[in-house]
Amino acid sequence: MDDGKKKIWICLLVVVLAAVVIGVLYYFSVPSENGSEGFLIRVQDCRGVTLLSEEERADGI
């Protein structure tokens, strides 16, 4: 019985460590802009025109 519990704990530990490693690799591999906190809602293109999201277009804002 103890051998089975030990195998389950080792398997659980491996899964958690794999998730942490994948999360860290993803965090450092995604390019980020300076001061890019939160979600991108509006974007200005190079002409200074504000582009609306799909929700804003549907709402008529």
Query: What digits encode the pLDDT tens for the residues 10-52?
Result: 999 999 999 999 999 998 887 766 655 556 555 555 665 565 6
Listed in order, strand segments (DSSP E) in the chain are 43-44, 50-51
Q: Which amino acid is at 6?
A: K
pLDDT of the residue at 55: 63
Tokens 């659980």 appear where? 12
Dist CA 10 CA 12 (whole Å): 5
Between 51 and 9, residue with greater pLDDT = 9
Tokens 């899964």 appear where? 15
The pTM score is 0.49
The count of structural domains within the chain is 1
The boundaries of the domain holding residue 10 are 2-59
> If pLDDT is split at 50, 70 and 90, which confidence band does 6 have?
very high
